[in-house]
C-alpha cells in the first residue's frame, strides 16, 4: 500500500477566496502554481515540517460561484491542498482557504474504476456471509496485483519464487520475462500465475539483465506472497 501512497494523486477541491476577484486575475495566479512549488507542511501534519518541493502537474479551474472556486489538481504525492489554497490566496492578495477536498485518484485507482461506498461494501459482505453469495463481493474486491499497475514488472520462474518470500534477492536466471526499467526503480515481481510475490528495487537496469547470465537483479523490499506456497528449491 505504501507504494500506492507514493504514486501520483488527483484532487477536486473547493477553495474560498476572502474577497471578490476578477476571473482573469485568478486564472493568472493559478497558472503560476503549475510546476514546482515550495511548501512547508502544515502545523498538524505527520511529517517533518521543513520546506519541500512538490510538483503540480496540472491545475484546472472547473467553475466559480461568488467567492467559491472549484479546482481540479493533479500533483505529486505529499502536496498539501490546504496549503496550496492558502498560498493561492496569498498571491491573490486577500487570502483564501480550502473548504472541501476529495481525492479522485491515487496511483492506478480512480473514481471510475470499481469505486464502492461503505454501504455497498457492507451489503456485499452481508450477501456473502448470510446468503452464501459472494458474487457481489468478488466484483468489489480486486486482486491486489492491480495496485502494481504503472510499475515495471518481472515474471519469476517457479523455482525462484520461494527464496524471494524469505527475503533473498531475485537473480538473473530466475527471470522469465521483464518490462523496461532503470536501476533503482521499484519493480513488482510476479509469479507465472500472476501472483504478486514482492515489490523491490532494481539492482540492474532491464537492459543489463537481458545482457547478463548471472547476478543480483532485484532486491525485495516488501514481500506479499506467503512463504512456502511454492516449493523450496535452494540447497541448505
List residues near other proteins by CB under 8 A: 1, 4-5, 44-46, 77, 80-82, 100-101, 103, 106-111, 113-118, 121-122, 125, 128, 134, 137-138, 140-150, 152-153, 155, 157-158, 161, 175-180, 190-196, 206, 210, 224-225, 229-231
For other proteins, the closer of residues 21 and 80 by Cβ is 80
Residue 211 beta carbon to other proteins: minimum distance, rounded to whole angstroms: 11
Residue 149 beta carbon to other proteins: minimum distance, rounded to whole angstroms: 4
In terms of C-beta density within 10 A (0-12 exposed, 13-18 middle, 19 or more buried), how is residue 54 classed?
Answer: middle
Closest CA to 205 of 215, 190, 197, 196: 215
Residue 201 beta carbon to other proteins: minimum distance, rounded to whole angstroms: 17
How far, in Å, CA of 187 to CA of 190, rounded? 10
Closest CA to 127 of 140, 136, 115, 138: 136
For other proteins, the closer of residues 68 and 210 by Cβ is 210
By the 8 A CB rule, do 202 and 181 touch?
yes
For other proteins, the closer of residues 95 and 134 by Cβ is 134
Work out whether strand 186-191 and strand 153-156 pair parallel, antiparallel, or are unpaired: parallel
Residue 85 beta carbon to other proteins: minimum distance, rounded to whole angstroms: 12
Bridge partners, 16 (sequence order)? 68, 97
Amino acid at each position: 500500500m505504501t507504494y500506492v501512497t507514493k504514486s501520483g494523486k488527483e484532487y477536486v477541491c473547493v477553495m474560498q477566496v476572502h474577497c471578490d476577484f476578477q476571473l482573469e486575475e485568478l486564472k493568472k495566479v493559478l497558472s503560476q502554481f503549475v510546476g514546482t512549488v515550495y511548501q512547508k507542511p502544515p502545523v498538524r501534519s505527520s511529517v517533518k515540517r521543513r520546506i519541500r518541493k512538490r510538483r503540480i502537474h496540472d491545475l484546472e479551474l472547473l467553475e466559480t460561484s461568488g467567492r467559491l472556486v472549484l479546482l481540479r489538481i493533479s500533483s505529486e504525492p505529499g502536496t498539501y491542498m490546504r496549503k496550496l489554497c492558502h498560498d493561492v490566496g496569498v498571491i491573490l492578495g486577500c487570502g483564501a482557504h480550502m473548504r472541501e477536498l476529495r481525492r479522485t485518484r491515487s496511483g492506478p485507482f480512480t473514481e471510475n474504476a470499481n469505486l464502492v461506498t461503505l454501504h455497498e461494501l457492507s451489503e456485499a459482505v452481508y450477501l456473502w456471509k448470510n446468503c452464501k453469495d459472494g458474487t457481489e463481493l468478488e466484483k468489489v474486491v480486486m486482486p491486489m496485483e492491480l495496485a502494481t499497475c504503472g510499475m515495471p514488472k518481472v515474471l519469476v520462474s517457479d523455482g525462484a519464487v520461494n527464496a524471494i518470500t524469505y527475503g533473498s534477492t531475485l537473480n538473473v536466471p530466475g527471470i522469465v520475462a521483464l518490462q523496461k526499467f532503470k536501476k533503482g526503480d521499484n519493480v513488482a515481481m510476479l509469479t507465472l500465475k500472476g501472483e504478486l510475490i514482492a515489490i523491490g528495487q532494481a539492482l540492474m537496469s532491464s537492459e543489463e539483465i537481458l545482457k547478463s547470465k548471472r547476478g543480483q537483479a532485484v532486491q525485495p523490499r516488501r514481500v506479499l506472497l506467503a512463504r512456502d506456497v511454492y516449493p523450496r528449491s535452494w540447497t541448505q
